[in-house]
Every structure is written in C-alpha cells, then in structure tokens.
Amino acid sequence: MLPLDRHAKVAGEVRATVAQTPNLTTILLALGIVYGDLGTSPLYTLQTIVHFMGNEVTPEAALGSLSLVIWSLIITISIKYGLFVMRADNHGEGGILALMAMTGADWSCRERWLVICGLFGVALIYADGIITPAISVLSAVEGLNAVTSTFKPCTMPIAVLILVVLFAAQNRGTAKVGKAFGPIMLIWFATMAILGIVSILRHPQVLGALNPIHGLRLLGRYGLSGFSVLGGIFLALTGGEALYADMGHVGRGPIRIAWYCIVLPALVINYAGQVGNFMDAPDLEQNPFFELAPEWAVYPLVGLAMVATIIASQAIITGSFSMTRQAMQLGWFPGVRIDQTSAEEYGQIYVPFVNWTTMFFTVALAVDFGNSGRLAGAYGTAVSTTMVLTTVLLYVVMRRRWGWPIYQAAVAAGLLLAVDLAFLSANLLKILKGGWIPLTFGMLVFTIMTTWHHGLETLCKRSNRHGQRPAEFFAWLRKNKVVRVPGMGIFLTRNGEQTPPIIVNYVKQGRSLHETVLALAVSFESVPRVLPRDRLRCEHIGEGLWHVTAHFGFVEIPNLPSIISRARKEGLPAWDEPTYYIEHHDPISRPSRSVVSRWRIALFAFMFRNSVHPVDAFRIPSDALVEIGRRIEL
C-alpha cells in the first residue's frame, strides 16, 4: 500500500487517543452505546436458566448457576474482550471486520478461510440483531405480570407496538435522544445494584458463588442437564461483542472503566440478588428480576426496563447500519441507500432497507414465539458462534501483528477457545428449539455477501478485457481521426492502470472525446480514515487523459465533486460543469454455466440491478450524469 497506510495509522491513533480520554462524558457515552444489551440480560437470563433446569433447580444448583454466570462474565468479557480483543484495534476501529482486516488475509489467497470467518461473523451479528430487540422488549413488558395477570394476554401486542414504533422512528435519527442514553443506563445499573444489595443483605450465603467450585459441581453432578444450562448462562454474555465493535466510537479507555467500575459490579450484584431471592422462595413461573422489587416499585421498574431495552435495541440497530456501510465500501454488500441523519455525527445514519428488513423479522419472531422464555431457545447460537470466530481471528493477530511466540498465542487463544466452544456446544443443543433461526439467517446474509463480492470481481474482470494501453488508445484516436470536443468528461472506473473500457466504448460509439478526460477510480482502503494528504493520486497520461485515484477509509463518505476541486490544485485543467459518465452493466449467465453457477449469477444480477445508483453513493449531481449501458456475460 502507499504511504497511505502509515499516515492513516497515525490519524487513527491520534483520533483513538482523543476518544479514549476517560472522563464522565465518555464513560456515560460508553454506558449508553455499548452496554445496553449486556445491561438488560438480567431481565431474562436467570428466568431462562430456571426454565432449562425445571424441577431440578435446588438451592445448590441455583448457587452453581450464579457461580457460572459470574466466572463467565470474568473470563469472557473482562479477560477475553477487555484485555485481549480490545487490544486488537485497526487504527482505532474495532469489530470483526476490522479484526479480519488485521489478519492480512485476502479472498483470492490461500487463507480465504480467515475471510470466511470474518464474513460469517458479520452475518451472524445481523442475525443477532433480529433477536435482541424482540427478547429484550418482550422480557421488559412481561414485568407487568409480576403484579397482576391482567396484562398477560396483552404482553406480546404491547411488545410488538413498541418494536414497530422503535423501527419507524429510526429515520428521524438518534442524535438528540442518544445524549440521554448514558444517564438513563447509569440509573438502570444503579437500580439493579440497589435491588441486588437489598436481597444479598437478606441472603448473604449467595456470596459463596464467588468460589468457582460451585459452578464446576453443577456441571459435573447434573451431566447433560448441567451442561445444557450453559445455553442459559450464555445469555448473560450476549452483547459482549459490542465492547469491541463500538470501540471506534467511544474509545478503549472509557469502555474498560465503565465495565470494571460500573457494569460488572452491578450485573454481579443483581444476579446474586436474584439467586438469593429465588433460593429463599423458589417460583418457576415468575421472573426473578422483577421479584426483587417491592410491589409498589414494580410498575416504575417495568417502565425503566422498557426504556433500557429500547436503548439496547437501538444500539444493535445502529450497529447494523454502521456495519452495512463498512461492508458496502469494502465490496461485500450490495449498494443500499444511506441517509445521514446528523450533520455533526458521522455515525448517525439511517439505512432504510436494513431497518425495515430487521423490523419484519424481529416482529415476526416476537409474534411467533410470544414470550421471552420461548424466544430464549433461539437466542445465543449466533453470538456464541461469532465469539468462536473472533477467537480464531485473534490467534492469527497474536501471531502476525503482535509477534507472540506460537506457544504463548496457542495457550492464550486455546483457553479462551475452550470456553467459547463449551458455550457453542451448549447452544447447539437448542437448535430444534429455535437455534436454527439465527444460523439460517446468518447463512443467508453470508451467501448474499460472498455472491456479491464474487460477482463484482468477475464483472470487473470481464469488463476490463475491453480496456487498452494508453499508447494503443492514443494511436487509435489519431488513426480514426476522433474529434476532441471542448469540456471535461469524468469516467468512473475501477481500473486505474490503463484506458478503462468505458472510455474505449464511449469513443467507439460516439466517435468523439472531450479535450480533458478523467478516469476516476474510487478505492476504499482497509483503514477507517485516510489523511487529506493521501486522498488523491493524480497522473497525467498524456493528450488530455488523466488518471485520478481517490482513496477513502471504509467509514468515510465519498464526495466526488469536492475531489475534482482538490484535483485542480494538483494540475488538473479547470472546466466548468464537467460531465460524469458511468457504465451500467447488465450481467447475464453464459449458457455453459452449471445450475449452481447460474443460480448465483441470477442472484448477483438481481442485486446488481437493484443496488443503489452511484449518483446517490458518491454525491454526483443528477443533471451532470450520463449512463452507458452494456450487457456482459459472466
């Protein structure tokens, strides 16, 4: 790569250093953005564990479950993500796409399996996004049943109404509401801690769960039943990947401080309080979380829980939007419309297609399963698989980026992987209870991503066959006495090395060419942002032909008119109102293709024809755009 990599790295480190300065504002920001999902897990985790064990829930089993929850939070969240995974930042950015990029693997090389790990992890995060809002909102609304059964028939309709309103409001943006997320979540964690402390004071024996022996006894004494309970224990960890995914927005420092000082203590205290209360008065029907509150406080607590679950849902929805834009710009997702909902905050975006698709599946799950207890069977398989893939990629980063000896990396990653695989195995036992849903949805998204990338690469290769070397092209112009007309023609291309096919085809059909011709290629790098000094590479080929490559990071929005203005400072001739030309391909399958290949090409062609237009993606003026159509056999 050009000096671009070095300068982008410096820019990322500077930006990350500023973002990571821990203060009250950034810590509150971390609470609001990062910990919504983890913070609302106490609403349904112990309830799910109780349902898994049924009549086998003895006081000793409850204490063992608490021990497993506590040590799972410590090992997976505090150690794996807090100490190891968050250290692997891609110039300040986090997330499994950034981790995949750090391995240096490429789709065309022998290590394609690393790319597959990253892409499938991304696909499973989408799958998690359709379940998290449903189970979180359902569990909060079910708190109304803690006082009276009057609302029981209305639980699901109320939850659906909340979900529909939540998704319908996405196009308004979350810039203003987002500022209140942090303080609200702080109140939520404080409330959970207070409720837990009151219960612990009445049942101090639950503190014995800090001894991991209780958890190991549960796993050994109950056999398969004890092992299957890990599927419920894992619900306490869902949302843990957000620590890494949101690192670029909040910073490593504030996320860690918020976790170790606020979130972890509040979660442990609340889980301990729930178990203590349950051991004193076992009730398999009621939600242990709302049983902590006195009767007069249940309704306010339900209201606070609803707000907290909305924040948790908002975080996963916003994360899906950001992930879609990154995948689009790296060539792994079809172009979809993206609306910027805030002029100040880059991350405040709205992606209509992702929003309404997620809403459809989320509402369908809420209606089909009806309550959080049943939906818990579908929850966990996607996240546990993602955590396994993250550990695999982390091992490669340990070896290649951090320079760890093989034994050191193998021991660290091996211990983490053993825990991840235990949770994955337990969650796979829930396949028939709904666990197949997120895995199927993730496989669908994965198929779309790989089909799009492969189809785009094939399309480019087929198209580039019609390109010419500059000397050959100029000779052809002179031989055929092609007329050069005043003005500037800007031809968008993915080929920055020769005379692009779009220019060759344009001249052959029109028998004329602008005096100034600009072959403009947009390149998205595997870094979040590119420094202004590394934005452009301009090269004058000769006889009015220029090659310009505009470099952007994978979280940046291209603005081509502004790029042209900057290119003039580097010698590009100035012309008023240039005309932009893009090639509109119509991909079709060759008759000799196999059935599977024809099916994938048909899917790619459908996505290609319906993907977003470059005039929307690159901010090209509509009245200055000309499309040139061409059919290409793949």
Query: Under 8 Å CB-to-CB from 473, ≥6 apart: which residues?
Result: 499, 503, 504, 545
pLDDT recorded at residue 12: 44
CB atoms within 10 A of CB 518: 26
Q: For residue 550, what are the β-bridge partners?
A: 522, 536
The pLDDT score that the predictor gives to residue 595 is 62
Core vs surface per residue 74-89: b (16+ CB within 10 A) or e: bbbbbbbbbebbbebb
Which residues have a Cβ under 8 Å from the Cβ of 241 and sit 6 or more positions away? Answer: 81, 96, 125, 383, 386, 387, 390
- Give the DSSP letter of residue 535: S
Measured CA to CA, the distance from residue 315 to residue 313 in angstroms comes to: 5
Rounded to the nearest angstrom, the gap between the alpha carbon of residue 121 and the centroid of all alpha carbons in its chain is: 9
pLDDT at 300: 93
Tokens of 58: 């003895």
For residues 72 and 234, is the Cβ–Cβ distance under 8 A? Answer: yes
60-90 per-position pLDDT tens digit: 888 999 999 999 999 999 999 999 999 988 7
Per-residue pLDDT, 3 = 36
How far are the Cα atoms of 85, 164, 174, 320, 349 from residue 341, in angstroms, in the given order? 31, 19, 8, 15, 5
Whether the CB-CB separation of 46 and 271 falls below 8 Å is answered with yes
pLDDT in the model for residue 8: 39
Q: Give the pLDDT of residue 201.
A: 94
pLDDT at 586: 78
Strand (E) or helix (H) holding 92: none
Residue 2's pLDDT is what?
35
Residues 6+ apart with CB under 8 A from 518: 488, 489, 490, 491, 546, 548, 564, 567, 572, 578
Please, which residues have CB within 8 angstroms of residue 611's CB and are 6 or more apart in sequence? 334, 335, 336
The label of the residue with tokens 């100035």 reads 574
Q: Which domains does the chain have, with CATH numbers?
A: 24-447 (1.20.1740.10), 465-633 (no CATH)
Q: Where are the beta strands (DSSP E) in 58-100?
A: none
Q: Are 229 and 218 in contact (CB under 8 A)?
A: yes
pLDDT value, residue 14: 36
Consecutive 10-residue averages of pLDDT for the chain (634 residues): 37 42 82 88 89 76 93 96 90 82 80 89 90 90 78 87 90 63 93 95 93 90 77 90 82 91 96 91 80 89 91 84 82 84 62 92 92 84 92 94 93 95 91 90 94 87 78 89 91 77 86 91 79 87 90 81 84 84 80 72 88 74 82 76
Query: Which DSSP category does 330 fall into?
Result: T
Separation CA 78–CA 267 (nearest Å):
13
CA distances from 330 to 97, 362, 528 (A): 10, 27, 11
